[in-house]
Structure 1
Amino acid sequence: MTTVAMTILLLSTSSLLLHCSALPFQQRGFWDFGKDIDVRDLMMTMMKDQEEGSAFEEVSPPDHPTCPFGCVCQLRVVQCSDLGLTHVPYDIPPDTLLLDLQCNMITEIREGDFKGLTNLYALVLRNNQISRVHPRAFLPLKRMQKLYMSHNQLTSIPRNLPASLVELRIHDNHIQKVLAGTFSGMGNMHVIEMGRNPLQNSGFEPGAFTGLKLNYLRISEAKLTGVPKDLPESLHELHVDHNQIQAIELEDLSQYKHLQRLGLSFNHIRHIEHGVLSYLPNLRELHLDNNRLSSVPSGLPESKYLQVVYLHSNNISSIGLDDFCPTGFGMKRVFYNGISLFSNPIHYWEVQPATFRCVSERTAVQFGNYKK
């Protein structure tokens, strides 16, 4: 399958890809994993991986090509979305690389549903009614890298996920527990999106993430009262926004020295223990907006690489001269390019101009008007 052929497919099938209610995903950078997937972007990613030789091996096409009724099959891409299917079709071509089954009425994934699909790269099952997955259903998928099962009715993460998996999206289900060993042997995993599940802190069993080298994790819109314990130490990005967290303590973030982006927006945070940010030496972006903070968190001046801080919609009534910038030289490596402080009871005319001496430009600081 050549780059030209895949490009032709992208152009000729773009009108067939997304007909269900979920918004399309448009990934423009490393930090956009939290949005829904667009199959066009997935195809482009697959094409890039193929060119780099990281996702495929050559598989001979079948002697008698087949295509499930109503689906569109071309160049190892099988599109069966929006067909009202109640089960996975049985006659999927064995050389399929991308299988799109989103926006159907599938309720169960059976043991033999993916038999023979040993070269499958991506499986899209979002927006179905799946509540059961056979423990052996994914065993044939030895090379699958991307699995999308968001917007279903799962109560647990499927067992025996392929060790080759790189990205798992399973948000907006009914998952209440993440069992120990769920991700055992999955050394290639980079992204997990499991937001909008009724997960409490007690729902994460000890060892749930053992051995996982993860870059990105989102557990937003859940029922967390604190940052979950024992998350992968390799995390570069963590989102636990839209939860019920009331405080951030030293032990909550002490092991995440690689973290670059932290999302804590839309919680009930009143207190951040002094010294928390010292454990995050590589932090670039901090989201603390829409909480109940009464002051600027300590430690910001010592965060050498911090560039963006969202503090709007809190209860901050005053800002000190040294709340953001260090007093000495050679401490902060980069200037801020975004500080939001609007929707706080701050009299901006009382803030000394030197407070923002380490900000790149005046427009980087947003005060706005406070209305009680």
Structure 2
Amino acid sequence: MTQLRILIFTTVMLPWILSTAAKDEYVEARRAKRDTENGIDFPPTNRAVAPKADELPTCLLCVCLSGSVYCEEVSPSMTAVPSLPKETAYLYARFNKIRKIKNRDFSDMATLKRIDLTGNLITEIEDGAFSKLPNLEELSLAENLLTRLPILPTKLVTFNANFNKLKTQGVKANAFKKLTRLAYLYLGNNELTAVPQLPESLHIVHLQDNKISTITDETFCKGNTSHYIRTNMDEVRLDGNPLKMSQHPDSFICLQSLPIGLYN
């Protein structure tokens, strides 16, 4: 009976006690920071120092649940990608203050299938940051401050970089061409002056509200043949660009429908 009680305490009560103590310490630190900001001071011996985001265990700072890590609008502010549990498949780190993505941030994370970094302050991504993610299918970098794109994983199905500051010279010519599974590409509200090379696999491509002023008969189609039909392409957006559609009557001849949106 005594051994049974010890076993129950070790497997059930002890982890709960340790977890509760850690949370209490974190809550107390946040309370102390709030009181200090409100002008309530305490003697140095009684005042807790609020921890920084990178000083806290990831699964205390974020919510870890069955292979998913949720780090959204974290307080204290998260300025870098946290260390992730090895089994992480889905990372949601939206609306924080992450500024740079380094090569080591996702090293040895072969299980990752989706990364969502929407709404951060990212200005730079090292070229190898995503190159060692063989199973990554969805990547969102929307609403950041990027002017260039890194090398992208070849198995991507969805890529979203809407609302950045991407420039044509910051997007390599074959950045998307080799992504043979890419079906959804969102590059709206950037500073692109040309349409990048597009893979045959695309179903949807959004390029609205850029600075694209011209296209050719080979941007979407194959200018040397009128028999080619782009069967996968369901939706194209080019509205909000200084593009005169009337000047390019044969540029969309291979599509099953014309680009959507309002045009001059």
Give the TM-score of the pair, scaled to structure 2: 0.69
Q: Match for 1:170: what amino acid?
A: C
Question: How do 1:260-279 and structure 2 match up within 5 A?
Answer: 260-271=157-168, 272-279=171-178
Separation in 2 of the partners of 1:358 and 1:227? 36
Q: 1:277 to 1:217 in 2, by over 3 A?
A: same
Q: Residues 331 and 165 of structure 1: is their aligned pair in 2 closer, same or farther, counting only changes over 3 Å?
A: farther
Structure 1 equivalent of residue 185 of structure 2: 286
Contact 1:237 1:260 in 2 (8 A): yes
**For residues 327 and 335 of structure 1, what CA distance do their matches in structure 2 show?**
18
Residue 332 to residue 165, structure 1, CA distance change in 2 (3 Å)? farther
Who wins on radius of gyration, i.e. which is larger? 2
Give, as a single letter, the amino acid of the residue that structure 1 aligns with 2:262: G
Residues 1:351 and 1:225: Cα distance change in structure 2 (over 3 Å): same
Q: Which amino acid aligns with 2:20?
A: D
**Contact 1:257–1:281 (Cα < 8 Å) also in 2:** yes
- Residue 117 of structure 2: aligned partner: 219
The match for 1:47 is none
State the number of aligned residues. 216
Change (3 A) 1:197 1:236: same
1:366 aligns with 2:260: yes
The aligned counterpart of 2:33 is none
- Aligned to 2:177, the other structure's residue is in SS state helix
Distance (whole Å) between structure 2 residues aligned to residue 367 and residue 346 of structure 1: 12
Alignment RMSD, CA only? 3.5
1:1-372 alignment, distance < 5 Å: 111-113=18-20, 155-156=53-54, 158-159=57-58, 165-173=66-74, 174-178=77-81, 182-186=83-87, 189-201=88-100, 204=102, 206=104, 208-228=106-126, 229-231=128-130, 232-248=133-149, 252-254=150-152, 256-271=153-168, 272-297=171-196, 299-300=197-198, 303-327=199-223, 334-352=231-249, 354-362=250-258, 365-369=259-263
Contact 1:227–1:240, Cα closer than 8 Å, also in 2:
no
> What CA deviation, in whole Å up to 9, does each residue of 1:212-246 have, x standing for no partner?
41111011111212345423332101000111111
Distance in 1 between residues matched to 2:201 and 2:143, nearest whole Å: 26
Higher-helix-fraction structure: 2
What secondary structure sits across from 1:276 in the alignment?
Answer: coil
Contact kept, 8 Å, 2:245 with 2:263, in 1: the verdict is no
Deviation at 1:178, TM superposition (A): 3.0
Which amino acid counterpart does residue 345 of structure 1 have in structure 2?
A: P
| Structure 1 residues 211 and 346, CA gap change in structure 2 (3 angstroms) | closer
Q: Which amino acid aligns with 2:119?
A: E
Offset at 1:110? 7.6
CA distance in structure 1 between the aligned counterparts of 2:256 and 2:134, rounded to whole angstroms: 31
% identical aligned pairs: 18
**Contact 2:141-2:161 within 8 A present in 1 as well:** yes
The verdict on how the C-alpha distance between 1:307 and 1:328 changes in structure 2, with shifts beyond 3 A counting, is: farther
Per-residue displacement from partner, 1:281-304 (whole Å, max 9, x unpaired)?
11101111000111211x22xx12
Q: Distance in 1 between matches of 2:29 and 2:157?
A: 35
How far does the alpha carbon of each residue in 1:174-214 deviate from its partner, in whole angstroms, 9 at most, with x for none? 111235xx22432xx32110011111116x47254423411
Deviation at 1:171, TM superposition (A): 1.3
Higher relative contact order (Cα pairs below 8 Å, separated by 6+ residues): 2
Distance 1:110 1:344 in 2: 59
Question: Are the structure 2 counterparts of residues 332 and 358 from structure 1 closer, same or farther at C-alpha, using a change threshold of 3 Å?
Answer: closer
- Structure 2, unmatched stretches of 5+, are 1-11, 22-26, 31-50
TM-score (norm 1): 0.51
SS in 2 for 1:168: strand
**Distance across 2 between alignment mates of 1:266 and 1:222:** 11
Structure 1 residues 279, 335: CA separation in 2 closer, same or farther (over 3 Å shift)?
closer
Query: For the Cα contact (< 8 Å) 1:178–1:205, is it kept in 2?
Result: no
